[in-house]
Structure 1
Amino acid sequence: MARRSGPRLLLLLLRYLVAALGYHRAYGFSTPKDHQVITAIEYQEAVLTCQYLKKTMDSRLEWKKLGESVSFVYYEQALKGDFKDRAQMLDFNIRIKNVTRNDAGKYRCEVSTPSEQGPRLEEDTVTLEVLVAPGVPSCEIPNSALSGTVVELRCQDREANPAPEYTWFKDGIRLLGSPELDAQSTNSSYTVNTKSGTLQFNTVSKLDSGEYSCEARNSVGSRRCPGKRMQVDDLNISGIIAAVVIVALVISVCGLGVCYAQRKGYFSKETSFQKSSSAAKATTMSENDFKHSKSFII
């Protein structure tokens, strides 16, 4: 009996696998395909391809854009949204004539084909990556600086895709990543970060005065911000000394005035009290003299 039960179990497993495959085909669980990544430059065209093998007249096609909420791109044999004005269907594929950065994302095509076992469903996912050229970068360049201080110039562009690299120019001449490589440089204390877009002077000098501009560049294009002059001046030591001397003189004069007033008793409470008492006595004596003279006359 044990020998016979083995083949029966194997036969039951084979039947289960055949039934599972039949269910898989009947309800259209498609085999996974290689994920597509389509790259397009902004304002040019792109074609979203649906890798579907069996195409028949009875097949029904839907395109959806995935994300936080799913939106229809192609449904009931018509393009939807703003795609109906700038896209067209090429069989099962979508040709977008004027790609924008908002079109970037994941798309899914779904194809339903009727069959004897039931509708067969297949789907394919496509990622559209839109390359964007840099805009005019935002440049932060100080108007003035003091020699010997740390000064940082900033350059940034938030629109480009892929992220751009930055290049700094002084008086129209490119500054290299380090001054040791720059034959035009007379300053040996600056650093350029091409990724973050910063130009930092560890100890800026008067020789660094000039017009600075920054360029953002990626594989699509490049843009440069308008030049702006930075003036570096030496620290006015003589002026600082003169200001300190004047302040010291003012403080000394004020101190001498306070000492003189204290010696004269202008800030003493007893002196003010004595002055008020003397005034009161003088008033009383004048009244008594007046009364006495009056009685004498009578």
Structure 2
Amino acid sequence: MSLRIEWKKIQSQEVSFVYYNGEFTGDLRDRAEMLNTGIRIRNVTRKDSGTYRCEISAKSEEGQRLGEASITLTVLVPPTTPICVVPNSAMTGTVVELSCKEAEGSPPSEYQWYKNGVALLEKTGTGSARTANITYTMNKKSGTLIFNTVSKNDTGEYFCVASNGIGLPQKCSMKRMQVDDLNVSGIIAAVVIVALVMALCGLGVLYAQKKGYFTKESSSQKSNSQSTSEKVHLVACVHFQHAFCYLVCR
């Protein structure tokens, strides 16, 4: 009986050869070996996760026989330290989003937010009596914490913890978010100051026009222009006959 054995990897609907024509392919060439019961992969990484399919074909006097089997491999990886994005300051009544993410954990990590060391409750879609007064929405899958209308009570120290059941949970460094009311009086004062400056500039221009500063400058330029023209005429008088010079310099 003549046997032919092939291994293929199926990941994200893409099929690639792992073992073909009697040898391993790709990065498994130096990390895998064939056994009587299957294949052995050393130093597995998160990229080795996927579905592996073994295909066997046998030729005999009775004809060709085919068989196959699939095995799903999940490489477990503990989470790394997540990256948290927390705004330093915010205005009351605005929408504020905090994010937390890490990309190495397998299976994917879930996230829990803490404020001042206390775990925040996860608000459901319909809400409940326990979470009726919650003004935020926390998504443990994506790691986002959204305040639809942030208030001064939301001021505090925030951090996030990532966990997937493998290894120890990991948390980001604590960051403070300060929420303040909109300074209406400060904005009004700034607008008044800008208006006064613009008014003073306008009065300055009018005063300069009344004093004739712009007119004097124009007269001086006109006088210089006439003086230059007369010099040109006088030079012409020297080089030409007196009769013609009289008509030009008159």
Q: TM-score, normalised by structure 1?
A: 0.59
Pairwise CA distance, 1:173: 0.6
In structure 2, the gaps of 5 or more residues are: 231-250
Structure 1 match to 2:130? 181
Cα deviations by residue, 1:32-77 (Å, 9 ceiling, x for unpaired) = xxxxxxxxxxxxxxxxxxxxxxxxxx77463423355413279379
Q: How does 1:211-226 map to 2 (within 5 A)?
A: 211-220=157-166, 222-226=169-173
Q: Relative to structure 1, is the Cα distance of residues 246 and 148 closer, same or farther in structure 2, using a 3 angstrom cutoff?
A: same
In structure 1, the gaps of 5 or more residues are: 1-57, 285-298
Pairwise CA distance, 1:177: 1.9
Q: How does 1:1-298 map to 2 (within 5 A)?
A: 60=3, 62-66=5-9, 67-72=14-19, 75=22, 81-84=29-32, 89=35, 91-96=36-41, 98-113=43-58, 115-118=60-63, 120-178=65-123, 181=130, 188-220=134-166, 222-268=169-215, 272-273=218-219, 276-277=222-223
Pairwise CA distance, 1:169: 0.5
Return the alpha-carbon distance in structure 2 between the equivalents of residues 276 and 160 of structure 1.
82
Pairwise CA distance, 1:245: 2.5
Q: How many residues align?
A: 216
Return the alpha-carbon distance in structure 1 between the equivalents of residues 219 and 173 of structure 2.
75
Superposition CA RMSD, Å: 3.7
Identity among equivalent positions (%) equals 53
Q: TM-score, normalised by structure 2?
A: 0.68
Return the alpha-carbon distance in structure 2 between the equivalents of residues 115 and 64 of structure 1.
22
Q: Which has the higher strand share?
A: 2
Query: Letter of the aligned partner of 2:22 in structure 1?
Result: Y
Conservation of the 8 A alpha-carbon contact between 1:62 and 1:76: no
Structure 2 match to 1:289? none
Query: Letter of the aligned partner of 1:143 in structure 2?
Result: N
Q: Relative to structure 1, is the Cα distance of residues 277 and 226 closer, same or farther in structure 2, using a 3 angstrom cutoff?
A: closer
Pairwise CA distance, 1:153: 0.6
Q: Relative to structure 1, is the Cα distance of residues 181 and 223 closer, same or farther in structure 2, using a 3 angstrom cutoff?
A: farther
Q: Secondary structure at the match of 1:149?
A: coil
Q: Relative to structure 1, is the Cα distance of residues 256 and 214 closer, same or farther in structure 2, using a 3 angstrom cutoff?
A: same
